[in-house]
Structure 1
Amino acid sequence: MSDDTSGGGRLARRWRGPLGRNLVVIVLAAALVAGFAAVHAQWSPMHRWNRAFGDASFLLLALAMAMGATARLWRSAGRLIAFRRELGVYATLLAIVHLVIILAGWVTWDLWRLFGFELHPQLGRYVMVQHGFGLANAIGLVALALAIPLALTSNDVSVRRLGAQTWKVLQMGAVPLWWLSVAHVGYFLFAHFLSFHRATPEPNPLQWPFVGLLFAVVSLRLAAFVAASARPRDLCRPA
């Protein structure tokens, strides 16, 4: 009996170790990309995979943002908090792929087009034609610029070199990263195709799941903040 228990404990610790966590999150990320690609199966390949990688990245980020709050509310969930690092790292990698697909397939490496400009043949210069598209992409690029240093420092070596306090301050960038990502994703789910000069497609089926996910994450973090406020000694611990 004791040998079985010990073996089970070693197996559980192995899957909660760095290698096990990476494997779990890689499988989860691949499943999410495939699932979102199936949701968008009727779209052109570029838009299908662009959105599949972007949506999967956002969901991994949402899980990372919710995990700390969940551990605050339910101590038994504390063992899952180590997965936040891997969730953040792979969310960033998926976002980079998402950007590359957009650059190669949507704006064809024309950075002016990424920010909503098009070359006007009569004027011979670029003019703004998609205001929201440019702003949403600028927000997405700022979010990615925040995500990359967070991902690069999500390891024990960075904690030792930067010092625990500096590292924690740097990782607080996850909060603005989350809200920038919400704004970026929200625009493309709800506003991008509401243009008077082109046909409006069917609503994206992920609109209401996005609203529900946003509500769940915000509710969890708010509940964790309230719980921490009731225990002043915990206020210094990030949610």
Structure 2
Amino acid sequence: MKKHAVLVFISSVLMSLFVFSRSDMQPMHAWNRAFADVSLLYLAVIILLGPLSRIFTSIRKLIPWRRTVGIWAALTAIAHVLIIFNGWIEWKFERLFFIFTPVGGDWIIHPGFALANLIGIIGLVYFLLLLATSNNKSKILLGKKAWKYVQSKATTLYLLVVLHTVYFLFLHFTDHSNWLRIPFIILVSFILLFQIVGFIFFVKRDKRK
């Protein structure tokens, strides 16, 4: 419970900062993106803990936090989706793949927009799967190997989230400036760098054994 209390506090602070940074947007869009940003940050922490624990042994004590952080990454992602469904597409699922053209006065399918949202839906399914199995009962039910296999899919989830984010940060509504573009590039590069370095450390330690 203490871990969840800490994550509630951190989430509240991060959400407030992200919403405040988008004070020029409609509240619905500001909150929607803020939840998505927090979810991405938590997912990045989960991915980073692996390679960092191989490089710095002191980081290993933080590994038990991965499950709790993963739960909050999923919860904030779900909140992100619920805001979109309730406040934007009004529970009309087809609007995730079509955009309205004021000139033609009609809804038309947009390939990039549709693909990005499809990737987002697949990512949500992954999130729900990880959330449903992030408990000891699932570990016993599935067996240790199967449970580890399911949980290892966090990397796949991360890639899906990155692809989904890339579209909406750099390709969709490019006329609207977004201060998160550069931090996002730095974060992704940082994760890639430490994954490579972590792999090198793993290979060296494996050879020593």
TM band (smaller chain) = over 0.9
Candidates 141, 155, 175, aligned match of 1:161: 141
C-alpha offsets along residues 94-136 of structure 1, whole Å, 9 cap, x if unaligned?
111101111111112111111125599x89x8531x3322211
1:104 is the counterpart of 2:86: yes
Cα RMSD of the aligned pairs, angstroms, is: 2.3
Which secondary structure does the structure 2 equivalent of 1:231 belong to? helix
Q: Size of the alignment, in residue pairs? A: 209
Structure 1 residue 233 displacement after superposition: 7.2
1:89 is the counterpart of 2:63: no
Q: What residue identity is the alignment partner of 2:2?
A: G
Which secondary structure does the structure 2 equivalent of 1:230 belong to? helix
Aligned partners of 1:204 and 1:234: how far apart in 2? 47
Which secondary structure does the structure 1 equivalent of 2:156 belong to? helix
Candidates 149, 158, 164, aligned match of 1:178: 158
Which secondary structure does the structure 1 equivalent of 2:194 belong to? helix
Candidates 176, 194, 203, aligned match of 1:220: 194
Q: What residue identity is the alignment partner of 1:82?
A: P
Structure 1 residue 157 displacement after superposition: 2.0
Aligned partners of 2:118 and 2:85: how far apart in 1? 13
Percentage of identical aligned residues: 35
Aligned residue for 2:206? 232
Aligned partners of 1:72 and 1:193: how far apart in 2? 40
Structure 1 residue 234 displacement after superposition: 10
Q: What residue identity is the alignment partner of 2:130?
A: L
Aligned residue for 2:172? 192
Aligned partners of 1:185 and 1:91: how far apart in 2? 15
Aligned residue for 1:152? 132
Which secondary structure does the structure 2 equivalent of 1:108 belong to? coil
Aligned partners of 2:128 and 2:47: how far apart in 1? 16
The answer to whether the 8 Å contact 1:89/1:151 transfers is yes
Aligned partners of 2:138 and 2:165: how far apart in 1? 30
Unaligned runs of 5+ in 2: none
1:53 is the counterpart of 2:52: no
Structure 1 residue 231 displacement after superposition: 2.1
The answer to whether the 8 Å contact 1:29/1:60 transfers is no
Aligned residue for 2:62? 80
Bigger Rg, structure 1 or 2: 1
Aligned residue for 1:127? 108
The answer to whether the 8 Å contact 2:96/2:114 transfers is yes
Which secondary structure does the structure 1 equivalent of 2:108 belong to? strand
The answer to whether the 8 Å contact 1:69/1:221 transfers is yes
Which segment is superposed worse, 134-143 or 19-28? 19-28
